[in-house]
């Protein structure tokens, strides 16, 4: 899709439709994690076809734990700031839905208004945990079904609805498969099995659950390091890399602050920094500058037709 068409589609609120079209294509969607407009622009620069707003990444960027403590307003505002500057379809992590089924309905409406193309809801109880940590607890399958139904019924633009199940680590593989089949019946467009532990488990899950599947390729977790092409061969339509860029940025920032604290100068790091020109190109500084110049010329033209008082 050409950029002008993408912009037009976004303005008309068709981000979900664009993602649905992308899901019908034979290739697998690789969606890197972003948490603000700047990282979204940076990811878009490298040709990705969709982006992922990680709940954990966003919470961590605020200095908070990934325990579902961010609010709906905070998340919706952050999503809006991303979709304002980047037109790629954005998949949004809405954790457990910010409450019960009725809360899910409102959350979906606000995130849809903020420009989300898809949302995913998980079947953990609050406070939720990172999917790769121990001691997770699940809501009943019926409660999760109610949330999925609420999300489906409340969406006006046909948000792509992704159901995440954390059952593998709590109830076992068979339960994760059974829950996922029920979530498909409840209207989930994509199924997200969290924290599978081997290539064979991903293969088995793909054999037994119909419909598009999503794989979460996070670091330091239970899932082995598989490439996007490997996941594609296993039958997965979307692959997330939710925290990779954030962790890399944090490591670099940590080294930078250490260097500044030790030497009191950035001189030896300058060659490893993004230049002012590169940053301005990334944020399209010239477009804003051109707009300001155009408005000044137009104002001068108008004032030139008026007699001075």
Give the active site residues.
52, 66, 93, 95, 120, 122, 130, 164, 194, 216
Give the closest residue to 246 by CA, choosing from 14, 93, 54: 54
163 preceded by cis ω (within 30°)?
no
User: What is each CA distance from 29 to 26, 148, 206, 254, in whole angstroms?
Assistant: 9, 23, 16, 31
Q: Are 89 and 18 in contact (CB under 8 A)?
A: yes
E strand or H helix at 34? strand 29-34
Q: Provide the 3-class DSSP secondary structure of residue 133.
A: coil
Long-range contact set of residues 279-285: C-beta below 8 Å, sequence gap at least 24: 282/38, 282/41, 282/42, 282/45, 283/38, 283/41, 283/85
Structure tokens given for 282 = 């990334």
Structure tokens given for 196 = 């599978």
Q: Provide the 3-class DSSP secondary structure of residue 277.
A: helix
Residue 242's CB: how many other CB atoms inside 10 A?
A: 25
Angle formed by the axes of helices 37-44 and 276-283, nearest 10°:
90
Q: Are strands 214-216 and 238-241 parallel, antiparallel or unpaired?
A: parallel
- Interatomic CA distance for residues 210 and 43, integer angstroms: 30
Structure tokens given for 165 = 């199940």
- Interatomic CA distance for residues 26 and 42, integer angstroms: 26
Q: Are 18 and 6 in contact (CB under 8 A)?
A: yes
């Amino acid at each position: 899709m050409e950029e002008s068409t993408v912009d037009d589609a976004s303005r008309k609120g068709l981000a979900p439709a664009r993602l649905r079209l992308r899901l019908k294509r034979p290739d697998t969607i690789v969606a890197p994690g972003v948490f603000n407009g700047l990282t979204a622009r940076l990811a878009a620069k490298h040709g990705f076809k969709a982006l992922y707003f990680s709940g954990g990444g966003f919470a961590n960027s605020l200095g908070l734990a990934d325990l579902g403590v961010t609010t709906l307003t905070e998340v919706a505002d952050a999503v809006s700031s991303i979709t304002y500057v980047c037109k790629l379809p954005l998949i949004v992590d809405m954790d457990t839905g910010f409450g019960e089924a009725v809360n899910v309905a409102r959350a979906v409406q606000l995130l849809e208004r903020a420009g989300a193309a898809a949302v995913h809801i998980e079947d953990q109880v609050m406070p939720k945990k990172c999917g790769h940590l121990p001691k997770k607890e699940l809501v009943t399958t019926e409660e999760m079904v109610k949330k999925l139904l609420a999300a489906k019924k409340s969406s006006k633009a046909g948000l792509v609805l992704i159901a995440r199940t954390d059952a593998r680590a709590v109830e076992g593989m068979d339960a994760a498969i059974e829950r996922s089949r029920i979530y498909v019946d409840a209207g989930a467009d994509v199924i997200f099995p969290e924290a599978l532990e081997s290539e064979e488990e991903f293969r088995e899950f793909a054999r037994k659950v119909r419909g598009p599947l999503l794989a979460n390729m996070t670091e330091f977790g239970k899932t082995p390091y598989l490439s996007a092409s490997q996941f594609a061969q296993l039958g997965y339509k979307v692959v997330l890399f939710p925290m990779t860029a954030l962790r890399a940025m944090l490591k670099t920032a940590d080294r930078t602050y250490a260097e500044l604290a030790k030497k009191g100068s950035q001189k030896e790091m300058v060659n490893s920094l993004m230049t002012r020109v590169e940053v301005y190109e990334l944020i399209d500084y010239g477009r804003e500058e051109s707009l300001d110049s155009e408005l000044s010329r137009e104002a001068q033209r108008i004032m030139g037709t008026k007699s001075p008082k």
